[in-house]
Amino acid sequence: MSSATEGPTAILLIRCPDQHGLVARTAQFVAERNGNVVHADHHIDRATGLFLMRMEWELAGFDVERDGIAAAFAPLAERIGATWRLHFSDVVRRVAIWVTKQDHCLGDLILRRRAGELRCEIPVVMSNHDTLRDLCDRFDIEFQHVPVERDDRGGAPVHETRQLALLREHSVDLVVLAKYMQVLSPAFLRAFPDVINIHHSFLPAFAGAGPYLQAHQRGVKIIGATAHYVTDDLDAGPIIEQDTVRISHRDSVDDLIRKGKDLERVVLARAVRAHLEDRVLVHGNRTSVFD
């Protein structure tokens, strides 16, 4: 998704109880301040009675300075009972990628970032193994080896303390688990909740370890990949993106793994891009992803 203007834009994500006139009232907020809306989309979730909206407008000519927009919108947000977030298109997010030993998702994200498909910076890659250091060195990206260390006294995992310190040191906005084969603790997720994971199956089917072997043994005709936000519930966070590919009886487990890796690359990239472009609204354990 690209903006209709070359200049920076403001992006407002709104979630509130459905009620009459919400589209008009939010559009009026922009129009009364001489704003030009370039994208607007909304959805009503009938099951929950929620109104969900993404609105984007040009900052050029807008009567309110960007550092005053949040304060200007707050009274309307209070009246409609909204939970909301404001972003600006020229703010480049800083993404930390976490890996273990597999390189296919990491390499894909690095190349997409270099090609301009993902508008972000990648200041650091972290791993519980040293396997992928050379790949990061080739692209001049800092690599941090953080081995997994448990606290025998039942406290927070030692390695997560180091990881959180590195995230703060590099001013990271988003963590992407690009085949990071470790479970994050609830304490970590409370301290840093913005984490996206790629799972090598079409959730909720075949969760946990060995999904391709499970799929092969079951004789399924499609396999998939799922990108989701990470929560305390393993592989059960809000889903951002999914896709599938057909397989046949001729495909071995190795064939399934090869096809699955191709899917994982694409699905994770789509999810990360949607997040970076502020097109994802989470409500409960679901998401609405605006085109």
Q: Are 17 and 53 in contact (CB under 8 A)?
A: no
Give the distance, in angstroms, between the CA of residue 278 and the centroid of all CA atoms in the same chain.
9
Place of tokens 């994971």: 197
Tally of CB atoms within 10 A around 238: 17
Q: Cis omega (within 30 of 0) on the bond before 204? A: yes
Closest to 142 in 3D by CA, of 90, 93, 95: 95
Q: Are 66 and 10 in contact (CB under 8 A)?
A: yes
Q: What residues have CB less than 8 Å from 248, skipping those under 6 apart? A: 221
CA distance 221 to 108: 26
Residue 204 to residues 1, 178, 208, 224: CA-CA distances in angstroms? 28, 19, 10, 11
Annotation says 235 is catalytic: yes
CA distance 119 to 157: 32
In the chain, count of helices (H) and strands (E)? 8, 13
Angle at 215 between CA 213 and CA 221, to 5 degrees: 140
Active-site position among 108, 173, 235, 278: 235
Neighbour order of strands in the sheet with 120-127: 142-145, 120-127, 93-99, 174-177, 195-199, 222-229, 239-246
Which residues are designated catalytic? 235
